[in-house]
Structure 1
Amino acid sequence: MNTETKKDILRGGQFLVKETACEDIFTPEDFNEEQRMMKEAVMEFNDREIVAHRDRFEAKDYALTEEVMRKAGALGFLSVAVPEEYGGMGMGFVSTVLTCDYISSGTGSFSTAFGAHTGIGTMPITLYGNEEQKKKYVPKLASGEWFGAYCLTEPGAGSDANSGKTKAVLSEDGKHYLISGQKMWISNAGFCNVMIVFARIEDDKNITGFIVENDPTNGISMGEEEHKLGIRASSTRQVFFNDTKVPVENMLSERGNGFKIAMNALNVGRIKLAAACLDSQRRVTTTAAQYANERKQFNTAIANFGAIKLKLAEMATAAYAGESATYRAAKNIEDRINIRIAEGNSHQEAELKGVEEYAIECSILKVAVSEDIQNCSDEGIQIFGGMGFSEDTPMEAAWRDARIARIYEGTNEINRMLAVGMLVKKAMKGHVDLLNPAQAVAAELTGIPSFDTPDYSELFSEEKEMIKKLKKVFLMVAGAAVQKFGPDLEKHQQMLMAAADILIEIYMAESTILRTEKNVKRSGEKSQEGQIAMSQLYLYHAVDIISVKAKESIISFAEGDEQRMMLMGLKRFTKYQNMPNIGAMRKLIAEKVSAEGKYPF
């Protein structure tokens, strides 16, 4: 086992009940030479082939999307995650996420095509296909000779993916399945060569996956291109199957295993979606900063106005937090994969289990970063003022493209409930010990609080203590809710949504602080002044959000003395000893962004 995997790697969800040392997390500053070279190559490709042709993408040039995808394939960008034996580069999970990050910011149209092909179009075959299927299809998909699509959603089956009506009927000679049904919102449909199609055999409880080649003479037809708010040059069509013949050997995995394939594919898709929003935030922040420096009102650049500084600081802070949490989780997944491979697991099994282990974190990231890019692009429009609303500037397209991120890979509402639901299930399986910490917090509520004044003289000492207290808030609220509602907890969706927001803010804030702490230790405080301010600012907001969401939950299900006790506990757990000066922090961050005319962190 290599030395990188010997560090203390928490299991998925354990961040809530265990403390993480900053040395044990991965940050973007830890990229190795190969990863830095990949980053530069992808950024150069993005600028040359995507950003430079943004107007054509906005004009719904679907042929350009396909053309640029082929160029990406020729440079190996479609094959980063594919094992070498199937024509891929066989790079680690962090490199996969890095590529998705830096190739996705030119336009949401290409980002969607890229993500649909490399993720849900190729990955199900790589991870669930048998050897014959992988040798037949994966090399063509890895090179860009063929493109993939993923046919899951139906008019009556969206979030409830397993309720699809598409049928697969075995032919009389037993050699084919005849697939009939309708799929919708299928990315890459207009130029795909192969599709992962989910259908139900007879009255099976669960759907089954199939590899279907796109042959219009075989009962496959398509609707017109959808006219969408954003991602305009992403080919999105309905696909109709009418007794489409699929060889029995093209069943993917086992009969009835389709729902599991779909869910695991979405887990990977969620962290990749978070990554795909990161460079978009950097670019929007950069573009807004440049405009704010150039735009003069009342004889001064608007970048000098406090209202604009507030926006630039918040935009940069959210981007920094998203980077911190996404790469932390990506390396956790990569390390878990490496551990399983070292223990003798196949690549397929190792990657499946590695990603599945951190499904909670993947849902957290999908929600947090997709909402951050929407807010970032919205503020970008605001900084541009009237010009931001015009198609002559890139802000309105960024805003429109960002909107879909909160919907696909499972809506943010679904992912919020999934995150908490998966955590509770892990606790019930004994994978995450929530019971004992929750009982300890309950006992603390009835005990006499300490009136000692802690020593918070070291950098981040109070912030790290605050993170511990915020974890107690989640354990207090979730523990009481589980005790009250038991197996009916899943019916209380407003409660789950609030608990998820608490969970999300804890993970994002902790990741941000740990990244900065690690970099301060190796580079010194002076070099990290902006990062320190962003970490403290993000935590300040997290405390506010958690306080509101926890209070909503407590007054919704607790009464009398229990309610009063929990509200007192909430006040204790969200109290700063030294309240941060957020005005000064925003000023410091914004002035660094303005001075460099870009997102500089």
Structure 2
Amino acid sequence: MTGPQSSQGAAAQRIISLAEVKQHNTADSNWIIIDDTVYDVSEFADMHPGGAGILQDVAGTDATEQFYALHRIEVLTKYKPRLAVGRVEGVTAKVKLPEPGALSTGVPYAETPFDMGYKSPYLNESHRAFRIAVRTFCDTHLAPVAQQADLAGEPVSDALYGQMGRCGLLAARLGPGPHLQFWPDGILGVVKPQQFDYFHEAIVHEELSRIGAAGWVDSLGTGFTIGAKQVLLFGQPALRDGVGAELLKGEKRIALAVTEPTHGSDVAGIRTTARLSDCKQFWIVNGIKKWITNGHQSAYFTTAVRTNDRPGMGGISMLLVPRGPGLTTRPIKTSYSAAAGTALVIMENVKVPVGNLLGKEGKGFMIIMAGFNAERAFICSGMIGAMRRVNEECFKWACQRKIKGVALIQSDAIQLKLASMISAVEAVAAWHEALLYQRGAMSFVEQNMKLGGPIALLKYQITRVAEHISDEACQIFGGRSLTQTGMGRGAEQLRRSVKFAAILGGSEEIMAQLGVRQALRDFDGSKL
């Protein structure tokens, strides 16, 4: 093999002595050492975001400590193929550049206990293999574009979203079920439909959230995750086979449209109406939905409407509303990225075929309530993935950041913070696993009867813990946690997005109230 790439690869394998490196100590010929590798940064210096001077200060020397004090390891992943000229004679690499799909098993508590080598009553090798496959997909296709797109407010491209659909990642976000039949050879070629369980689903949510860039990650199908299953479970066969297949394969996008400007958690009070046309072939929909995730990008809306004049929950039905004449969306600016496509959805005399009714007329409230368990469990999974990633970054940073020559990790105060963060996440993660097991062991009806309260309380506790993790991470990273790029990026992103989990799918106050009220329902009245 010949050509630029092979020549570059050969150069990177060249063995270079320390004495030779020291000779390249000028602006015109600037070599530096990072770990075991020699980099020629002469031409790169003028493009260096921190200016050429800082590179000139370390010309001809080992700059490993200075580099890791200021840069994430992904910088080396990006620039090593272009700038590396050889390896240092007699030096063995201390830091291994991460490979796509690699688990962070060398960082305590960065992964699930099972993936760290402990025994689990719930997980098996199919879950480990699936996590590696999902992380490989994320590292290869999603993470390289996530941060820039998130800052620019650009959602995932149609091509990449379609790729997620074709390999089964979108379908996996809906949990086990007959919708997985389109992938008989396995999701990502790893887990067969008959093997797939709620733990596999949770792995997808966790791994996507580990990317960070929460607004952009929400463009990867949050609307699909909370709005597509109603079509598959309650839609008529023609709707399931047509629109349902389009959604699963990533050909079209969908959003859940329940919340209104005047009604959020009070679902029974929604005002959007749907009335039969004179020809009885269409529902005519009028109303406004607000804060609809992915709404600005979606072709379909799983929509809560009032189909009769009965007050409260009895008058609510669910319709699949296609984007068309009379339906407009306007983007809503939020505290995280515009990439999520959060929208105001305005429906003015929108004609919806009567066959787009989901379930029975007047029974929409129960469909909404049934969907809340899955939505809240999805939020819990995502937050656990995000928190574990932030804990991992805090642990790494505390070990590599030095003040007066002493690593932060040696401080009693930092150790106490890390102990609090780790124990809080591991506790809610264990509760989360226990409830995932219950979901798999119960029928759909039994889940709705028994798990609404526990899942609500879990969501409440997880978002309380997330606030704590976010706060402590910001203190550990200091000023770096206030910038959207660089070392503290993960802490900044969690701080900016944590309230979305605490409010969407039911606010913390509503979750706490629901959990205790359901517990009271089962109370036998015994006395002290």
Alignment of 1:300-339 (within 5 A): 300-337=406-443
- Among all aligned residue pairs of Structure 1 and Structure 2, give the percentage whose two residues are the same amino acid: 24
Instruction: Decide which of 466, 470, 481 is 1:377's aligned counterpart.
Output: 470
* Mapped contact 1:97–1:275 kept (Cα < 8 A): yes
Alignment of 1:506-517 (within 5 A): none
Kindly indicate which of the two structures has a greater share of residues assigned to helix: 1
* Mapped contact 2:155–2:340 kept (Cα < 8 A): no
**C-alpha distance in structure 2 between counterparts of 1:127 and 1:84, whole Å:** 10
**C-alpha distance in structure 1 between counterparts of 2:329 and 2:498, whole Å:** 26
CA displacement at 1:324 relative to structure 2: 0.6
Paired residue secondary structure (2:350): strand
Kindly indicate which of the two structures has a greater share of residues assigned to strand: 2
Deviation track 1:349-382 (CA, whole Å, cap 9, x = no partner) reads xx35434431111101111112222221221111
CA displacement at 1:208 relative to structure 2: 0.8
**C-alpha distance in structure 2 between counterparts of 1:110 and 1:356, whole Å:** 34
Instruction: Decide which of 176, 187, 201 is 2:307's aligned counterpart.
Output: 201
**Equivalent in the alignment of 1:87:** 182
**Equivalent in the alignment of 1:411:** 507
**Equivalent in the alignment of 1:363:** 456
* Mapped contact 2:304–2:316 kept (Cα < 8 A): yes
Change (3 A) 1:356 1:435: closer
**Equivalent in the alignment of 2:34:** none
Task: Output the TM-score relative to the length of structure 1.
Answer: 0.62
Q: Is 1:211–2:320 an aligned residue pair?
A: yes
Deviation track 1:426-484 (CA, whole Å, cap 9, x = no partner) reads x2xxxxxx326x33xx1xxxxxxxxxxxxxxxxxxxxxxxxxxxxxxxxxxxxxxxxxx
Q: Is 1:391–2:484 an aligned residue pair?
A: yes
Larger Rg: 2
- The count of residues paired between Structure 1 and Structure 2 equals 391
Alignment of 1:178-197 (within 5 A): 178-197=284-303
Alignment of 1:137-176 (within 5 A): 137-176=243-282
Alignment of 1:398-547 (within 5 A): 398-425=494-521, 427=522, 434-435=523-524, 438-439=526-527, 442=528
* Mapped contact 1:66–1:191 kept (Cα < 8 A): no
**C-alpha distance in structure 2 between counterparts of 1:58 and 1:112, whole Å:** 10
**C-alpha distance in structure 1 between counterparts of 2:254 and 2:223, whole Å:** 5
* Mapped contact 1:27–1:328 kept (Cα < 8 A): no
- Give ranges in structure 1 of 5+ residues lacking alignment: 1-25, 338-350, 428-433, 443-601
Deviation track 1:40-72 (CA, whole Å, cap 9, x = no partner) reads 111222233333334323324324365543332
**Equivalent in the alignment of 1:21:** none
Paired residue secondary structure (2:387): helix
Paired residue secondary structure (1:190): helix
Change (3 A) 1:28 1:236: farther
CA displacement at 1:316 relative to structure 2: 1.2
Deviation track 1:200-226 (CA, whole Å, cap 9, x = no partner) reads 1130333110011122xx211111x22
Change (3 A) 1:85 1:412: closer
**C-alpha distance in structure 1 between counterparts of 2:310 and 2:322, whole Å:** 24
Paired residue secondary structure (1:435): coil
- Give ranges in structure 2 of 5+ residues lacking alignment: 1-117, 188-192
Paired residue secondary structure (1:78): helix
Change (3 A) 1:357 1:130: farther
Paired residue secondary structure (2:171): coil
**C-alpha distance in structure 2 between counterparts of 1:376 and 1:75, whole Å:** 33
* Mapped contact 2:210–2:385 kept (Cα < 8 A): yes
Q: Is 1:125–2:231 an aligned residue pair?
A: yes
* Mapped contact 2:156–2:216 kept (Cα < 8 A): no
**C-alpha distance in structure 1 between counterparts of 2:482 and 2:399, whole Å:** 19
Q: Which has the higher contact order (CA 8 A, sep 6+)?
A: 1
Paired residue secondary structure (2:169): coil
**Equivalent in the alignment of 1:32:** 124
CA displacement at 1:301 relative to structure 2: 0.4
Deviation track 1:495-534 (CA, whole Å, cap 9, x = no partner) reads xxxxxxxxxxxxxxxxxxxxxxxxxxxxxxxxxxxxxxxx
Q: For the aligned residues, what is the CA RMSD?
A: 2.1
**C-alpha distance in structure 1 between counterparts of 2:466 and 2:519, whole Å:** 26
Residue type of the alignment partner of 1:421: R
Task: Output the TM-score relative to the length of structure 2.
Answer: 0.70
Paired residue secondary structure (1:150): strand
